[in-house]
Amino acid sequence: MFRTVLTDRLQSAFTSAGILLPEGFVPTVGIASDTRFGDYQSNAAMTLAKQLKTNPRALAQQIVDKLEVSDLCEKVSIDGPGFLNFTLGGKALAQHLSLILKDDQAGVPKVSAPKRIVVDFSAPNIAKPMHVGHIRSTFIGDCLARVARLVGHTVITDNHIGDWGTQFGMILHGWKTILDHAALEKDPIQELVRVYKAINAETKTDPAVLDTCRQELVKLQQGNANNLEIWKQCVALSLDQLQTIYGKLDVHFDHYLGESYYNDKLAPLVESLQSSGIAELSEGAICVFFREVPELAEKPCLIRKSDGGFLYATTDLATIDYRIQEWQADEIWYVVGAPQELHFRQLFQVSKKRGQTVAMQHVAFGSILGQDGKMFKTRSGESVGLIEVLDEACERARAVVEEREGLTNDEKDQIATIIGIGAVKYAELSQHRMTDYKFSWDKMLALQGNTAPYLINAYVRTRSIFRKLEDNVELTQELVISEPAERALAMKLAQFAEASHDVLADHRPNLLASYLYELADTYHSFYEACPVLRAEGAVRNTRLTLCQTTSKVLKTGLGLLGIRTTERM
């Protein structure tokens, strides 16, 4: 990455100039905010001059005198009150374009210190349909896993499904009394939801039904063979539907270790926490207190209820143990909504008390809203089903594709699926993860603006160039970047590596989405300003190389977002 190399060279220049850096001060280089002055920029001289109470431009000149970047830059300038601006040379850009084309990584370097990272995301509940509320966790988690793998980390994806809990007492009772087996065979999840809702309603008015449900749950927890068999059928039926949805989304998990997997580890865990003095008895319950953390002092973590029941926190602590011991995790990322912030703060504090050093991150996110600015719901007030959202997206995309000529019905169906699902994914991933956003069909499926159809169309445009060639062209390294639009595109392509690495700095896929949108815009400007097929010699080769490189970066970048491309649209 040019930014990384320039940063290293800048830091060496400070050393060569004999400038002692204050503790904690690290000179860095970033992408220029105003490209009229250069491609990259550093305000290190200005910041340090203020601390040293010296002239910033004079300090900047000292640094430039020792700066060794002639192999990368055609110009280094000192502008304004002391900004250092770096303008890359055409040769360096051309070499980087060649690297992107030849490299399986599309020019994205591996990290120097790879880690084993567990990404915990999606986590739907058994016997319940996935709904629109699962969009953010599923798409953000999948993207982060893809990017982390690309840059060289070992990634383990785990779908920590909710397959154990109080709802199963109601499902077990309903299964035995009101289950419609024909309906179960036709649509298992819909029938299980119907059963759950019906029994749940009965418990509100009949205490005897509630007591029966509790007894069924206890029997399940104690290993009753009949109840275990029913539970296993519920899990199997639910997983079948989940696999169908994840297959449609092209989302894959290494493991589906649900809450039930850790059930036999909970009692020993609580005993261990008590015997070590980390947990204590409080009003009949077992809790971990955080008296040393002011904001959590009045918010203990409950790990066993007074009736002996365990909680999510207990299961999550057992899960951490497993991920550290069995998977040797260096980091664990929890892609879970912002309302769970307190739960994870408590969880991480308990882990810290236990002496666990694995780095844990709650990758929080906001909500998806309807056009009225309220939580996105159906007219009856229920959560919108995810499969319904995906089907409608594909149907709407199919209506647009229907107008295209020269495509078979199968091709139209395939393209509509790519565009429809890509549109839903991009609408999510182009947002800052903490932002609440409104779900809008018209906006996400628009062919113009910051949307998946616009980016996919940019990729199709790059491929159309090569379909028009009479003969296969073997691109060479004879590149002559001279026109402003050529240089702007080459420069934007060079920043793909930086955009990819930046995603993981704060777990923000929207940074990659923004980069790809800017790349598509830059390519369209190049396409309008620089004729490709009418050009000749080195100019034609350069422009074809720019088209091919753009094609590769768009395909790779959209792939990191979990979005597929199509050759025609």
Question: What is the residue-wise DSSP string for 459-503?
Answer: HHHHHHHHHS-SS-----S-----SHHHHHHHHHHHTHHHHHHHH
Query: How far is Cα 167 from Cα 175, in angstroms, rounded to an integer?
Result: 12
Q: Which of 422, 436, 400, 439 is nearest to 513 (CA)?
A: 422
pLDDT at 457: 95
Of the pLDDT bands very low, low, confident and very high (cuts 50, 70, 90), residue 155 is very high
pLDDT, one tens digit per residue, over 79-90 is 999 999 999 999
Going by C-alpha positions, the residue among 453, 443, 445 that lies closest to residue 369 is 443
The model's confidence at residue 107, banded by pLDDT at 50, 70 and 90, is very high
Three-state DSSP state, 293 = coil
Rounded distance, CA 391 to CA 433, Å?
Answer: 24
CA distance linking residue 523 with residue 455, whole number of Å: 10
- What DSSP designation does 158 have? E
pLDDT score for 378:
59
Confidence bin at 472 (pLDDT 50/70/90): low
CATH superfamily placement of domain 2-88? Arginyl tRNA synthetase N-terminal domain (3.30.1360.70)
Residues 545, 479 contacting (CB under 8 angstroms): yes
Least confident of 120-124, 258-262, 283-287, 401-405: 401-405
Closest Cα to residue 488, out of 101, 2, 90? 90
Sequence-distant (6+) residues with CB within 8 A of 200 are 170
CA angle 494, 497, 502 (to 5 degrees): 125
Give the mean pLDDT of 227-254: 95
| Mean per-residue pLDDT, 172-181 | 96
**Would you say domain 116-162+254-363 falls under CATH 3.90.1310.10?**
no
* Residues in Cβ contact with 194 at an 8 Å cutoff, skipping those fewer than 6 apart: 180, 183
What value does the mean pLDDT of the chain take? 93
First to last CA, the chain: 33
CB atoms within 10 A of CB 329: 22
pLDDT tens figures, 406-415: 889 999 999 9
Would you give the distance in Å from CA 288 to the centre of its chain?
A: 32
Going by C-alpha positions, the residue among 377, 529, 519, 361 that lies closest to residue 455 is: 519
Q: Alpha-carbon distance 538 to 536, whole Å?
A: 7
Q: How far is CA 207 from the centre of its chain?
A: 45
- In sequence order, the 6+-apart residues with CB closer than 8 A to the CB of 201 are none
Give me the phi and psi of 210, to 5 degrees please.
-60, -40
41 SS3 class:
strand
Task: Give the start-to-end residue ranges of the domains of the chain.
Answer: 2-88, 116-162+254-363, 167-235
Q: Residue 523's pLDDT band (boundaries 50, 70, 90)?
A: very high
Please count the other Cβ atoms lying within 10 Å of the Cβ belonging to residue 442. 8
Residue 334: its pLDDT value, please? Answer: 98
Instruction: Report whether 553 contacts 496 (CB < 8 A).
Output: yes
154 versus 25: the higher-pLDDT residue is 154
Distance separating alpha carbons of residues 25 and 19, to the nearest angstrom: 12
Distance of alpha carbon 496 from alpha carbon 552, whole angstroms: 11
Closest CA to 123 of 251, 269, 214: 251
Query: Which residues are 41's β-sheet partners?
Result: 30, 85
**What amino acid occupies position 325?**
Q
Q: Running DSSP on this structure, what letter comes out for residue 297?
A: T
Q: What's the pLDDT band for 381 if we cut at 50, 70, 90?
A: low
Report which residue type is found at 287: C
Per-residue pLDDT band for 207 (boundaries 50, 70, 90) equals very high
Reduced to 3 states (helix: H, G, I; strand: E, B; else coil), residue 145 is helix
- The yes-or-no verdict on residue 569 having pLDDT over 90 is no
The residues near 117 (Cβ < 8 Å, ≥ 6 apart) are 148, 153, 154, 155, 156, 329, 330, 331, 332, 333
Task: Assign 379 a pLDDT band (cuts: 50, 70, 90).
Answer: low
Q: What is the reported pLDDT for 218?
A: 85
Chain segment 510-521, per-residue pLDDT in tens:
999 999 999 999
Which tokens belong to 465? 């160039």
Percent of the chain with pLDDT over 90: 83
pLDDT value at position 400?
87
- Lowest mean per-residue pLDDT among 34-38, 365-369, 395-399: 34-38
CA 542 distance to own-chain centroid: 34
Cα angle value 278/280/284 (rounded, 5°)? 155
Q: What pLDDT sits at residue 46?
A: 92
